[in-house]
Amino acid sequence: MAASNAARVMTPASWRPLRQELAPRLVDARLQLHHAAQFLAAMGISYLPARPDDSHTNMEWLEPINALASNAVNGSSRIRLALSPQPFALHLLADDVSRTTLPLRHVTIDEAVAWIRQQLGECGLHSNAFTLDRHYTIPSHPVADSAPFDDTDSEAFEQLAAWYSNAASILGGVAASTPNASLVRCWPHHFDIATLIEIAPGSTIGIGMEPGDVYYAEPYYYANIYPSPPEPLPPLAGGGSWHTHEWTGAVLPGSRLGRDDQRAQIESFIESALRAKR
């Protein structure tokens, strides 16, 4: 397990082109990334008080290091774990500066846990308290049965980084301009990054990006509306459509994106879903 000592520094957020023809090809990379993200969720589970909404387990996108990051834990400094999709690696952050990095190619979950515990111990935390035990399930993948991580399909991991980076930027804009919107966070259960908007008491709309799931084997933007809007459901902009199986919401799969003005297309879709709710 070779470790390097510097995280890649990214330029300020700008739109990263999404290749719609690759959207259905991201399943394996997405599942590996989802399992690796559980290291970050484990920071909250292991060291922070449990919150009823599970927000102690969530993550945020840090554009400067191209990575998802856990909630902070107080050790000898403010400690966070971060996960970059490309290059596929874990970072130990102290006061949001990368202290050390573990590339994940050919590394197993058990090996990564051993590395994490060593780093946490050196940062003044009780290393044996770190646990991957969790109260929810995630989709299966061979890495959960001791297979090593494999990021040889670097194009797929790079596209997932683009999906999260773009989503953090778009959803951050929605949250900043919409009253009663939550912070934009990524959730380890379904691996979506989202903001929840309270329209009125008992009436919400969740706007987010899901990198793929049992409903769509590709990344998609969604607007999950509660309670469901009355029929007939209004038309949606930007190539969006209504999902009505098991939950009702607006969806825009990655394969429907155009090659140009992708941000404008996604923002148009989100605004049309907000109009439908209002």
pLDDT tens, position by position, 9-43? 333 469 999 999 999 999 999 999 999 999 999 99
Residue 197 lies in a domain: yes
On average, the pLDDT of the chain sits at 94
Is 207 inside a domain boundary? yes
User: Token match 């959803």: residue?
Assistant: 171
170 and 120 in a single domain? The answer is no
Do 130 and 225 sit in the same domain of this protein?
no
Residue 62 has pLDDT above 70, yes or no: yes
Do 100 and 193 fall within a single domain?
A: no
Mean pLDDT of 218-244: 94
Q: Are 124 and 163 members of one domain? A: no
Quick one: 169 and 271 in the same domain? yes
The proportion of the chain whose per-residue pLDDT surpasses 90, expressed as a percent, equals 91
Average pLDDT estimate for 246-260: 95
Q: In terms of residue numbers, what domain contains 179?
A: 154-277
The whole-model pTM stands at 0.94
DSSP state of 59: B
pLDDT of residue 25: 97
One domain for residues 88 and 194? no
Query: Do 133 and 161 reside in the same domain of the chain?
Result: no
Domain shared by 43 and 119, yes or no: yes
Q: Which pLDDT score, from 0 to 100, does residue 46 have?
A: 98
Judge if 116 and 163 occupy the same domain. no
Question: Domain ends where: 115, 145, 175?
Answer: 145
Same domain? 185 vs 257: yes
What's the pLDDT at 210? 98
SS3 content of the chain, % helix, strand, coil (to 5): 35, 25, 40
Residue 29: CB atoms within 10 Å: 25
In a domain, residue 3? The reply is: no
How many separate domains does the chain show? 2
Asked if the structure places residue 252 within a domain, the reply is yes
59 and 35, same domain (yes or no): yes
What is the predicted pLDDT for the residue at 231?
85
pLDDT one-digit tens code per residue, 135-148? 999 999 999 999 99
Q: Give domain status of residue 163, yes or no.
A: yes
In a domain, 10, yes or no: no
Find residue 74's DSSP bridge partners: 78
Short-list 278, 248, 252, 249, CA closest to 263: 252
Please check whether residue 1 lies inside any domain of the structure: no
Calculate mean pLDDT across residues 179-203. Answer: 97
Q: Are residues 76 and 105 in the same domain?
A: yes
